[in-house]
Structure 1
Amino acid sequence: MENNTWSCCAATRRNQQPLHLSNRFDAFSTNERNIKNMIFLEGGEFLMGTEDTDANPNDMEGPIRKEIIKPFYIDQYAVTNRQFQEFVKDTKYETDAEKYGWSFVFYSFLSEEVSNNVTQAPETTPWWRVVEGAYWFQPEGPGSSMEGRMDHPVIHVSWNDAKAYCRWAGKRLLTEEEWEFAARGGLVQKRYPWGDELYLNGKHCCNIWQGNFPENNTEEDGYFGTAPVDAYQPNGYGLYNMVGNVWEWCENLFHHGNIGKERNTFNVTQSSRAMRGGSYLCHDSYCNRYRVAARTSNTIDSSTGNIGFRCALDVE
């Protein structure tokens, strides 16, 4: 995460070899293509990106450019623990976190017993802990559970895992262009899905960090960790939690380089995919990536306690 290329929210397994999906998942019969809890977006032209002064260097949030989006369906909500559990029960799928035997968990969520057994943390983001036995069904490691969180977004899912779920559901991940088009909710060049101000009529509009990161979260928005997928008000397209709550995997590779009107040189991290939206850990003192134009990435096998996804569906 040096030079803030990797955000505080994106602990990564980048020094590990990626795990590849078994071909057997391609043979699973998919569910009927249905649009329950999906929103149809007609697409069209929109202005993507930002040139704001607080855009993150090297993230290539700019320049502002016109993009044309084809019609598509998008999940109204992020994929929930309940939905992911149905997928696992039907397919016996094993996530990357389970294959590795561990995942990244934010330190404040750990029980004393689990915390005492932790021996590793990323050097540049020490608030993350390598927790043995942490995965989507026990998100804080041994002794934790899904109780009371079935309608929260599933976490500890890698890009590989998200792709497997999409194949099972007969859907796909969004491209970054589709994601930003949807997140803007019909507004033009606003910072957030609801406008330019973080608060709307004095009310919190998303689940991010309040207080001093990473020591103290005042929970003024009502949540310390994840919130239910239908928390807060939807944007102009009827989509919930497009920013805050959990990062959402996108389909495309992550391009990064120097921000500016001329993008003559850029890098493509072949093992990394883009993520959008920020999470409950974002705070403007360190990571202001809960803006609709903000972006980051992670390796395809990485999982953390604040990465999830939502699905899209092509219009036939």
Structure 2
Amino acid sequence: MILSKKIILTLATGVLFLTSCDSTEATKQTIQSSEPTVEDVVINEPDTVIEGMVWVPGGRYVIGSVDSEAKIVEGPAYEVILDGYWIDETEVTNAQFAAFVEATGYKTVAERPVDWEELKKQLPAGTARPHDSLLRPGSLIFEPSEIANLYDISQWWKWEVGADWRHPHGPNSTIEGKENHPVVHIAFEDAQAYAEWAGKSLPTEAQWEVASRGGAAPKPFAWGNELQPDGAYLANYFQGTFPDNNTRLDGFATTAPVKTYPPNGLGLYDMIGNVWEWTSDWYRPDTHRRNSEIASTKGCINPNGPSSSFDPQNPLSPTRVTKGGSFLCSDQYCSNYRPSARMATAYDSGQEHLGFRCVVILAEN
């Protein structure tokens, strides 16, 4: 599904790109893969310890779908060879992001007026400029109502002037008391800016997916073959009738504090559920198919995604891969609470269920 600032034009112009969580095959792409050989891969944990981060050993891993019910864009499964890397133990929290803003004075995309000249590049030619009131700073919030069509996302996503990371559900909301919740309403450039300030980077899709599995062999869910082993809720996702009747059986209607649920085998929290997380990869629906071809010939070493994006359902908007699902993922709608799940997300858009975490790559001495 694509969530984008284009939703703000719905009332003004009648233009809205509606998509499901599925995609189809795309045109040709170039998959970038580093040139080092397998012998160059950094495997062992360095002596340096980075507080708040977990080491993922380098080596051979399988990514992509191992679930027969997965969407076509998630497969096939194939082997990647990765350098070892550090990854944040948790999603970046409100407190951590506040420290960044305090130090730099940074303003997120949601806190800036909408750039109409940039936005209209993502719209059909001739789209009329909306009223200035629709171009004021804001972001997308989840506002469910009784619905008739699960593929019409405008029924539960609302452009809210004044919604941003400090005000996750609009100008009258606050993050006070939620310092340890994941920061949300973060556009791609916001996540990049934080990562650069922190001396880190955003994970590639391969790095993110390997970390999400916690060092275990690929299975449909990060923790095994069942969504609820022994009836336990192991992540923050939607229960009830989506989108207007959340029964909150996992304890939360929106974000949960980080570390609420058990960590995975590597000691990482909330890799599944809570909020979607940015990766550095451009989105294309056939990335895994093309990477698998590379893997079968010369080996897929440290893949870092295609050189440009393409989504046939939203061809005018540059999109990045987001992973992990969120508190809104439901088995009635998209069931994206799986490591292999991948979503195309417009680079310029923040939402109430979108955050990030970072990685550190240590060059071999």
Q: In which range does the TM-score fall when normalised by the shorter chain?
A: 0.7 to 0.9
Equivalent position SS for 2:79: strand
1:164-211 CA-partner distances (Å, limit 9, x unpaired): 000100000000000011001111121122111111332100000000
Q: Give 1:299 shift.
A: 1.4
Structure 2 residue aligned with 1:299, among 342, 346, 361? Answer: 346
1:31-78 CA-partner distances (Å, limit 9, x unpaired): xx9711100111211111115332124xx2111100011010000000
Structure 2 residue aligned with 1:215, among 244, 267, 287? Answer: 244
Q: Which residue of 2 aligns with 1:152?
A: 181
Determine if contact 2:63/2:209 at 8 Å carries over to the other structure.
yes
Structure 2 residue aligned with 1:285, among 323, 329, 332? Answer: 332
1:133 partner amino acid: G
1:82 partner amino acid: A
Task: Give the distance between the partners of 1:238 and 1:51, measured in 2 at CA.
Answer: 23
Q: Give 1:254 shift.
A: 0.6
- Where in structure 2 are the equivalents of 1:234-313 lying within 5 Å? 234-257=263-286, 268-269=309-310, 271-313=318-360
**In structure 2, do the counterparts of structure 1 residues 203 and 263 end up closer, same or farther at CA, with 3 Å as the change threshold?**
closer
Task: Give the distance between the partners of 2:322 and 2:230, measured in 1 at CA.
Answer: 29
Task: Give the distance between the partners of 2:292 and 2:263, measured in 1 at CA.
Answer: 34
State whether structure 2 residue 94 is matched by structure 1 residue 64.
no
Structure 2 residue aligned with 1:230, among 259, 275, 286? Answer: 259
1:249 partner amino acid: W
Q: Give 1:123 shift.
A: 5.3
Identity %: 40
1:105 partner amino acid: I
Determine if contact 1:14/1:299 at 8 Å carries over to the other structure.
no
Task: Give the distance between the partners of 1:88 and 1:314, measured in 2 at CA.
Answer: 24
Q: Unaligned 5+ residue runs, structure 1?
A: 1-5, 17-32, 110-121
Q: Give 1:233 shift.
A: 0.2
Q: Which residue of 1 aligns with 2:127?
A: none
State whether structure 2 residue 47 is matched by structure 1 residue 11.
no
Determine if contact 1:246/1:306 at 8 Å carries over to the other structure.
yes
Determine if contact 1:256/1:268 at 8 Å carries over to the other structure.
no
1:251-275 CA-partner distances (Å, limit 9, x unpaired): 01011149879989x9932711110
Q: Which residue of 2 aligns with 1:90?
A: 103
Structure number with greater Rg is 2
Structure 2 residue aligned with 1:195, among 210, 224, 228? Answer: 224
**In structure 2, do the counterparts of structure 1 residues 258 and 71 end up closer, same or farther at CA, with 3 Å as the change threshold?**
closer
Task: Give the distance between the partners of 1:261 and 1:291, measured in 2 at CA.
Answer: 21
Task: Give the distance between the partners of 1:201 and 1:273, measured in 2 at CA.
Answer: 35
**In structure 2, do the counterparts of structure 1 residues 250 and 285 end up closer, same or farther at CA, with 3 Å as the change threshold?**
same
Q: Unaligned 5+ residue runs, structure 2?
A: 9-47, 115-136, 146-150, 294-305, 311-316
Determine if contact 1:11/1:125 at 8 Å carries over to the other structure.
no
Task: Give the distance between the partners of 2:7 and 2:240, measured in 1 at CA.
Answer: 32
Q: Which residue of 2 aligns with 1:37?
A: 52
**In structure 2, do the counterparts of structure 1 residues 258 and 247 end up closer, same or farther at CA, with 3 Å as the change threshold?**
closer
**In structure 2, do the counterparts of structure 1 residues 261 and 139 end up closer, same or farther at CA, with 3 Å as the change threshold?**
closer
Q: Which residue of 1 aligns with 2:169?
A: 140
